[in-house]
Amino acid sequence: MAIVSLREALNQAIDEEMTRDERVYMMGEEVANYQGAYKVSQGLLQKWGPKRILDTPIAEAGFAGLGIGSAMLGLRPIVEFMTWNFSLVAYDQIVNNAAKMLSMSGGNFSVPIVFRGPGGAAHGLGATHSQALESIYSHFPGLKVVMPSNCKDAKGLLKSAIRDDNPIVFIESEVMYGDKGEIPDGEYTIPIGVGEVKKEGKDVTIVSWSKVLAHVVLSAVDVLQEELNISIEVIDPRTIRPMDYDLIVSSVKKTNRLVIVEEGWPFAGVGAQISHEVAARAFDHLDAPVERVTQEDVPLPYAHALEARSLPNLDKIRSAVKKVLYLD
Amino acid sequence: MATLIKMPKLSDTMEEGVILKWLRKEGEKIKQGDILVEIQSDKADMELEAYDSGVVRKIFVPEGGKAPIGGLIAIIGAPEEDISAVLSGSPTVSASKAGAQANPTLSPTSQASTTAELLDSKGKASPLARRLARENRIDLTAVSGTGPQGRVIKRDLEGMISGKPAGATPVSRPIIPGTAEDVELSPIRKTIAKRMTESKTTAPHFYVTVEVDMDPAMTFRDQINAVKEIKLSFTDIIIKATSEALMKHPQVNATYLGDKMRQYHYTHIGVAVALEEGLVTPIVRNCEQKRLDQINAELRDLVERARTRKLKPDEYLGATFTISNLGMFGVEEFAAIVNPPEGAILAVGGIIEKPVVRNGEIVIGHTMKVTLSSDHRIIDGVVAARFMQDFKKILENPASLVL
């Protein structure tokens, strides 16, 4: 077991897969000479050279489309967006070309591409640069959406994503790149579509993922278990699509109560979909309506105090947990 | 000001009431003290008086309908008064005095509920609570919910759910029309079901049976009935004999109270009376002070009123001991379930004509078997045996009962 930062874990995954498969290459803004806006690609240009680590112009639609075309012709590109907010410029390429090519070509062209980069809010980046976009990308059949919450999962899932023959939306977080964690020695992968029980509990299930899980939920769980004298089960689905519903449903059948904590907005959010599936498959096991903690339904404010109050936080999670446990 | 009429608590064990009859319809005037409604509790039919004069503005529960204790059943107000505020939950509305009596049984959450919540509370339960109720055959309308708007949630059912796995509980299946029918349980039936289950699952029962020579009691009864203007029954004699024996054995005339037992220096003897929908046990009080003819007259009156469901709560609550007699049905002997919180119950079989050995010879005699069921938490085998020994001795020497 080695302790590495999350950016190092991602770097190892890319490096190992480039070693394993010469069709793998990476491109994006500042990934080569600058060593990556967040240093995920540190050292890769030096090791693999400019044919496999490519700097692109500030033209997301262009290089996303370039990546898709190269994937159709047999390469396995990793396309870095400096942030997922910039992917909106390439939205048409991702959802219309990458997502639909296999189906619309009658199975003739698969698109084995990984789009990756940080998503969600950081600190004071303003409304247009702070968006949690997993709900819109998971809307499209043809895309898989992967969101690790820790170093071990980040490396194992990115390796699986690079080997997957489908287009993958791989969403990280700016504020997680420095997170440190243990990763197993040697070769390992983590399957896409399989969630994990982060912590067992019996009174309420909390489903959360990525940064909100790692930076908000886990510490909130410690506080609330102590404060309310309850036992909380925490589930990290790790993949948003396909969602590991079986894991969530079996947990809810045990605890009878569910709170979903996500960074996106409430309307048509990922939590709304999970909530529906649980209502359909575990209706007779619910002792309370499913509660969701989301970002407030407004463009995220820039002002620090307002930003903190808009995002999921301990107070909102406490209130939701108390509500499903009828502790008000 | 409009007054909310809520389902009153008419007995200690009542959880819900059935509206038998509204004596005023919506829009009709009512004076303070007039009977507003007849309500059936788990024990008896009772009349509810209006505590205020006015007009019956709204009836929420139709005849035949049920409401939990504290549940809103009607509103009385002035003829032109705007009750929309009441209907939408104005906090200025006062609960009726009958409702106030019911309040102690409401949970804190329910007490804080607004009128609108009360109006809206009927039948709310979480899906989990519904499933648990279905699997454990719990009537959710009889459970007061502590969730928002009176929603019944899992914790409200804890304690009512047996430890058995769900699969072991009989689940009702659809029936083929004409081959069976589902009969709704009456409030009395539900109370019996609950209390008997509670007794048999929490009180460790044991049974002691003796056979009593009834020839002396038969002669005794015939002698009294031949002279006095009464028709003394064997039940009367058994009650009096039981009372005498209980006074000698206060451990049997006792109630289990968890960390102590309460032994009584009087005998309030309940007598099980069968009704169509179940049974009640009217009580002959202070049997130790009463003559046989007094017991006879009192029991006759109580049984009559029990059958027409006119008993008042204090006439069936507070027995120290119960007697159940199935002798008249040709039953030779049986064992009864202790009626909590009492410590014991006497099951009386029929008087059987049969050969008996008397002075070394077989002759035709009359005997009766009686079985004492005891709660072993407070009564030991020897105590029960000594009580039965004395009971048998008294009943076989009935002349002592006139002193």
**Among residues B19, B53, B22, which one has the least CA distance to residue B39?**
B19
Residues B61 and B83 grouped into a single domain: yes
- The 10s digit of each residue's pLDDT in B205-255 is 999 999 999 999 999 999 999 998 889 999 999 999 999 999 999 999 998
Question: Domain holding B232: CATH number?
Answer: 3.30.559.10
| Residue where the block lists tokens 């990763």 | A183
Q: Which residue of A has its CA nearest to B148?
A: A326
Contact check, Cβ <8 Å, A326/B148: yes
Residues of A whose CB is below 8 A from B147: 288, 326
| Residue where the block lists tokens 């410590």 | B343
Nearest to A284 among B131, B153, B155 (CB): B131
Residues of B whose CB is below 8 A from A286: 126-128
Contact check, Cβ <8 Å, B147/A326: yes
Contact check, Cβ <8 Å, A284/B129: no
Computed over every residue of chain B, the mean pLDDT equals 83
The number of distinct structural domains making up chain B is 3
The per-residue pLDDT for B169 is 44
Contact check, Cβ <8 Å, B129/A287: yes
Residues of B whose CB is below 8 A from A283: 127
Alpha-carbon separation of residue B212 from B72, B333, B344, B385, B390 (angstroms): 54, 12, 19, 14, 11
Considering Cα of B327, then B332, then B337, then B343, what sign does the dihedral take? positive
Q: Phi first, then psi: what are they for B71, rounded to 5°?
A: -70, 140
The per-residue pLDDT for B99 is 38
From the CA of A230, how many Å to the nearest CA of chain B?
14
Residues B225 and B270 grouped into a single domain: yes
Residues of A whose CB is below 8 A from B152: none
- The 10s digit of each residue's pLDDT in B18-43 is 898 899 888 888 888 888 998 988 77
From the CA of B204, how many Å to the nearest CA of chain A?
34
Q: Does A202 touch chain B (CB under 8 A)?
A: no
Cα separation of B201 and B96, whole Å?
39
Q: Which of residues 226-265 of A touch B (CB under 8 A)?
A: 256
Strand A291-293: give its sheet, edge to edge.
A196-199, A232-236, A204-208, A258-261, A291-293
Q: Domain boundary residue among B96, B120, B144?
A: B120
- The 10s digit of each residue's pLDDT in A202-258 is 999 999 999 999 999 999 999 999 999 999 999 999 999 999 999 999 999 999 999
Cα separation of A311 and A121, whole Å?
9
Contact check, Cβ <8 Å, A288/B153: yes
- HEC states along B164-216? CCHHHCCCCCCCCCCCCCCCCCCHHHHHHHHHHHHHHHHCCEEEEEEEEECHH
Q: Does B278 touch chain A (CB under 8 A)?
A: no
Are the C-beta atoms of residues B256 and B212 closer than 8 Å to each other? Answer: no
From the CA of A317, how many Å to the nearest CA of chain B?
19
Contact check, Cβ <8 Å, B127/A283: yes
Residues B366 and B236 grouped into a single domain: yes
Query: Of A212-216, B58-62, B126-130, which one has max mean pLDDT?
Result: A212-216
Cα separation of B12 and B15, whole Å?
9
Question: Using 50, 70 and 90 to split pLDDT, how confident is the model at A309?
Answer: very high
Cα separation of A235 and A253, whole Å?
14
Residues B375 and B281 grouped into a single domain: yes
Residues B107 and B163 grouped into a single domain: no
From the CA of B126, how many Å to the nearest CA of chain A?
5
Please indicate whether residue A227 is annotated as part of the active site: no
The per-residue pLDDT for B11 is 76
Contact check, Cβ <8 Å, A284/B153: no
Residues of A whose CB is below 8 A from B155: 326
Q: Which residue of A has its CA nearest to B130?
A: A284
Residues of B whose CB is below 8 A from A327: none
Residues B373 and B252 grouped into a single domain: yes
Output Rg (C-alpha) for chain B, integer angstroms. Answer: 25
Considering Cα of A91, then A92, then A95, then A99, what sign does the dihedral take? negative
Query: Mean pLDDT, to the nearest integer, of B107-129?
Result: 54
Query: Mean pLDDT, to the nearest integer, of A41-56?
Result: 98
**Among residues A123, A170, A163, which one has the least CA distance to residue A143?**
A170
Cα separation of A196 and A110, whole Å?
29
Q: Among A281, A326, A328, pick the best mutation site for testing chain B contact (most B Cβ within 10 A).
A: A326
How many residue contacts between A and B have a Cβ separation below 8 Å?
A: 27
From the CA of B285, how many Å to the nearest CA of chain A?
47
**Do the strands B269-271 and B35-40 form a parallel or antiparallel pair, or are they unpaired?**
unpaired
Please indicate whether residue A60 is annotated as part of the active site: yes
- The 10s digit of each residue's pLDDT in B150-208 is 888 988 888 777 654 443 445 566 677 778 888 888 888 888 888 899 899 889 999 99
Residues of B whose CB is below 8 A from A256: 128, 154
Q: Which of residues 147-166 of B touch A (CB under 8 A)?
A: 147-148, 153-155
The first and second tokens of residue B31, run together, are: 């004076």
Cα separation of B38 and B253, whole Å?
36
Considering Cα of B295, then B297, then B300, then B305, what sign does the dihedral take? negative
* Greater pLDDT, B2 or A196: A196
Question: Domain holding B72: CATH number?
Answer: 2.40.50.100
Residues B195 and B156 grouped into a single domain: no
Does position B100 have pLDDT exceeding 50, yes or no? no
Angle between helices B215-227 and B381-396 (to 10 degrees): 50
- The 10s digit of each residue's pLDDT in B263-282 is 999 999 999 998 887 888 99
Question: Using 50, 70 and 90 to split pLDDT, how confident is the model at B120?
Answer: very low
From the CA of B161, how many Å to the nearest CA of chain A?
15
Q: Of A30, A129, A277, A285, which residue is the catalytic one?
A: A129
Nearest to A256 among B128, B130, B148 (CB): B128
The first and second tokens of residue A262, run together, are: 């996500």
Q: Phi first, then psi: what are they for B8, rounded to 5°?
A: -80, 160
Computed over every residue of chain A, the mean pLDDT equals 97
* ipTM for the complex shown: 0.75
Residues B281 and B356 grouped into a single domain: yes
Fold of A2-183: Rossmann fold (3.40.50)
* Greater pLDDT, B341 or A179: A179
Residues of B whose CB is below 8 A from A288: 126, 147, 153
**Among residues B368, B344, B217, B189, which one has the least CA distance to residue B269?**
B344
Q: Domain boundary residue among B165, B182, B199?
A: B182
Residues B309 and B380 grouped into a single domain: yes
- The structure's pTM equals 0.55
Query: Mean pLDDT, to the nearest integer, of A87-102?
Result: 98
Contact check, Cβ <8 Å, B148/A283: no
Those residues whose C-beta lies under 8 Å from the C-beta of residue B42, and which sit 6 or more positions away, are B11, B13, B14, B15, B187, B188, B190, B191
Lowest-pLDDT choice from A73-82, B158-167, B273-282, B370-379: B158-167
Q: Does A314 touch chain B (CB under 8 A)?
A: no
Does position B113 have pLDDT exceeding 60, yes or no? no
The per-residue pLDDT for B118 is 41
Contact check, Cβ <8 Å, B128/A284: yes
Contact check, Cβ <8 Å, B147/A288: yes
Q: Domain boundary residue among B85, B120, B155?
A: B120
Q: Which residue of A has its CA nearest to B109?
A: A328
Residues B304 and B172 grouped into a single domain: no
- Domain regions of chain A by residue span: 2-183, 196-324
Residue-number span of the structural domain to which B99 is assigned: 3-120
Q: Does B127 touch chain A (CB under 8 A)?
A: yes
Q: Of A8, A17, A29, A60, which residue is the catalytic one?
A: A60
Cα angle A288-A291-A296, degrees, rounded to a multiple of 5: 155
Residues of A whose CB is below 8 A from B146: 326
The per-residue pLDDT for B86 is 65
Q: Please tell me if the domain spanning A2-183 has the same topology as the one spanning A196-324.
A: yes
* CATH of the domain spanning A196-324: 3.40.50.920
Q: Among A204, A287, A290, pick the best mutation site for testing chain B contact (most B Cβ within 10 A).
A: A287
Q: Of B265, B268, B366, B376, which residue is the catalytic one?
A: B376
The per-residue pLDDT for B168 is 40
